[in-house]
Structure 1
Amino acid sequence: MTADTLLARITDYANRHNPYPLYAELREAGPVVLQADGSYLVGNYHEIAALLHDPRMSVDPRTRGEVTHKPPFLRLDDPEHHRLRTLAMRPFGPPHSPGRVDAMRGQIDQITEELMAPFEAGRQLDVVDDFAYPLPVTVICRLLGVPREDEPLLRAWSDALVAAADVRPGDDTTETNQTGDQARIEMGGYLVNLAEQRRGKSSDDMLAAFVNELDPALRLTQEELAETAVLLFIAGHETTVNLIANGVLTLLRQPEQLDQLRRDPDLLPQAVEELLRYEPPVHMRERIPLADIDIAGTTIAQGTPIVLALASGNRDPRRFHEPDRFDPTRPDNQHLGFGSGIHLCYGAPLARLEAQAALGALLPHLGTARLVQDPPPYRQNAMLRGPRHLPVQL
């Protein structure tokens, strides 16, 4: 095996259960490693952090002619990214003040409590299907105003979109991308239609807030509304499913740390941050340089894909002491679990709140629980890495 096959090996499903030895190999190979498909792979913390804040790095796939339609703001550069992200965040409330997400805390606790009902001694449950998935999906459906009975329809669209967004070096992605484009169009149309039903009506949800905006300068176009609503639904649950499932798996594998958290649940917020470093829900992000760029002595030509291995940066011993150890009390934990810079994960505040509520509710049950299968089956997606199922015996 050579260094130029690292991305292919990291994204190979055979290594999904434990890609961390490959990330260690990446960091040893150098700050920047050319891959067989012509892309570059970056795995060191400080180089990744600098690139996430570098205005010469683009996220817009149109810079390589990949798409012709306008992407969601997650895939746009400033100033258009800033404009749309600001408009999308307005229903959440003013920056740095308690907004719609904080106001959901009581509902999140209630939903969590309802989902805990089947957690009885002697039962076998799937943490993903029975808890980690329905919690954030129920929350984001309530935030947007989506009828809960329509969730299976949105899940199918969401799965197709996430598959299309994955990093797949050397593969023929035409069919996957076409399926993703069709899902984006259908899901966007559904959400816009739902929003139009609320036009001129009083309704306390985000779709209503978008279509009833009084200031013409702050209104989203139909296309922008479709892309933003789709992004909100996906960002509102995808990372959280992985965060909760990875968290339960980690704690069941680490009984000493689990006991520590059961004795001192006030450590939960800090433990969630450590989970975001140790087993992050997002493993990679792609960037495209808008000009020739030098990274640690390597010149990368304009338009060449650069894959930032966030999960590798989170385990970089040059930045974190004993990085392969899960430590819920870890200080100075500036991880890359949600990225960094202007494209910091849009759903991060909601994911943190939901993970704290979920793990707090699960802690009393995990002390006597055991994993039915370890490693569990993982999702196909290498970029958004987490168990597809997580069966546990209570």
Structure 2
Amino acid sequence: MSPDTLLQRITDYANRADPYPLYAELRENGVTRQTDGSYLVGAYHDIAALLHDPRISSDSRSRADPDTLPMLRRGAQPAFIGLDDPEHDRLRRIAMRPFGPPHSPGRIDSLSTEITRISGELIDGFRDRDRIDVVEDFAYPLPVTVICRLLGVPHEDVPRIRGWTNTIIASLDLTPGKDEESHRDAGLEARQAMGAYLGDLADKRRDDPSDDMLSALVHDSGPDGHLTRNELMATATLLLIAGHETTVNLITNGVLTLLRYPDAFRALRGNPELMPGAVEELLRYEPPVHLLPQRSPLTDVEVSDVTIPKGAPLILVLAAGNRDPLRFAAPDRFDPARADNQHFGFGSGVHNCFGAPLARLETQLALRALLPRLEGFQLAEDPPPYRRSPILRGPRHLRIERPSGP
């Protein structure tokens, strides 16, 4: 088939369960211009170079067609993930102060006990059952509970958070031919509603602070200044969504992969000290984020003998780079002991995932707690039903069961 239809085929839901043959086709064809004018990049070294190239913008306002983007038309405040330096750097530094080192070095590590406790409670809830949905019973409630407690969101509001998040993630469906405008508008409305909710919650923390990140962000007096209310809303929304959505996929993809690789399952169950390396391999082999769609060059850029013009939509297929045989030996094999595993599971460069330390910790502790409880379980269906988004790729449900009969 023609390489200029690769985006259409990659985003086609029919290929969601196994997009990897298409990623191999992308690597073989090099940088490819698509029928909609975007450019796809899937080779590891090309992606790495672009992620570290200051000429590549993450700001939608740098696109050649910014007027078509509903967020910009409505004047919404973009989160720092969608900005370039120096705006990106300032907002990221402010957000980082209450989240990690050097200013809050113990915040993530201090969550270990809480994550282990929540994992145990969730596992106890299905201890005697013969059929489990890993997503609904474990992989979703664990990270959403953790990030809500970290930010200071009341537990009773979690269903509202989930509703908004589902709409936002659905708006990331890039399938050509769908009503993209209405999906994006719905996603923007949900993002604005979540932002307004978090803004109101932050306002309460001004007079009644607590030991949570919203309180810390509201009362921060660092050298980079205070967040405006709109900046605070956009930042808190980003942290809330990114703080659990990618981890849901990572945990679920981890269970799915380990059930498909019983030798690795047994090795990790018996040697939990191997889990950190296994999680890194999961981030390479079945990453939670497959595409970075919102990039564009600030000037004409040449990549592998192809000139990508200024302002053209640029899509980096991270999951294709993670399986590039020019970078990884036997890239289609899951190897928990793989060395030199510099994957794109959390991106790379200045936009490297802000919440990577938390996602790593949650996934390691979650799988350590869960694997011993899954002895005797098998996949009820393989492949499982996947979520619609080709960007944040993971099963919508992962049903496992104990075999019946003797």
Q: TM-score, normalised by structure 1?
A: 0.97
Aligned 8 A contact 2:97 2:103 in 1: no
Whole-angstrom distance in 2 between the partners of 1:250 and 1:105: 24
C-alpha distance in 2 between matches for 1:86 and 1:122: 45
Corresponding residue of 1:344: 352
Give the residue type in structure 1 aligned to 2:324: D
Helix, strand or coil: the match of 2:97? helix
Distance 1:344 1:303, change over 3 A: same
| Superposition deviation, residue 162 in structure 1 | 1.9
Distance 1:199 1:85, change over 3 A: same
**Does the alignment pair 1:147 with 2:154?**
yes
Partner-residue secondary structure (3-state), 1:331: coil
Cα distance in structure 1, aligned partners of 2:222 and 2:331: 49
3-state SS of 2:124 partner: coil
What CA distance in whole angstroms lies between the structure 1 residues aligned with 2:273 and 2:159? 35
Q: Does 1:330 align with 2:338?
A: yes
Partner of 1:132: 139
Gaps of 5+ in 1: none
Distance 1:288-1:109 versus aligned 2 partners, 3 A rule: same
% same residue: 61
Aligned mates of 1:93, 1:349 — CA distance in 2: 9
- Bigger CA drift: 95-104 or 203-212? 95-104
Please, which of 156, 162, 181 is the counterpart of residue 174 of structure 1? 181
Structure 2 counterpart of 1:294, from 285, 298, 302: 302
Q: Distance in 1 between matches of 2:323 and 2:27?
A: 10
User: Given residue 384 of structure 1, which amino acid in structure 2 is its aligned partner?
Assistant: L
Give the Å deviation of 1:170.
5.3
8 Å Cα contact 2:90-2:224 kept in structure 1 = no
Residue number in structure 2 paired with 1:242? 249
Q: Which moved more, 1:19-28 or 1:121-130?
A: 121-130
1:62 aligns with 2:68: no
- For residue 400 of structure 2, give the secondary structure of its aligned residue in structure 1: strand
**In the aligned structure 1, how far is the partner of 2:268 from the partner of 2:222?**
48
Select which of 345, 354, 361 maps to 2:362. Answer: 354
Matched positions, count: 393
Residue 70 (structure 1) shift: 2.8
> Which residue of 2 is the match for residue 305 of structure 1?
313
RMSD: 1.5
Residues 44-90 of structure 1 show CA distances to partners (whole Å, capped at 9, x for unaligned) of 00000110111011111122322133310010001100000000111
Name the TM-score, length of structure 2 as normaliser. 0.94
Tell me: CA distance 1:26–1:214, structure 2 relative to 1, closer, same or farther (3 Å): closer
- Residues 27, 215 of structure 1: CA spacing in aligned structure 2 closer, same or farther, 3 A cutoff? closer
1:20 is aligned to: 20
Structure 1 residue 95, shift from structure 2 partner: 3.1
User: Which segments of 5 or more consecutive residues in structure 2 lack a partner in the other structure?
Assistant: none
Residue range with higher mean Cα deviation, 240-249 or 174-183: 174-183
CA distance in 2, matches of 1:99, 1:173: 42
CA distance in structure 1 between the aligned counterparts of 2:90 and 2:223, rounded to whole angstroms: 14
1:366 aligns with 2:374: yes
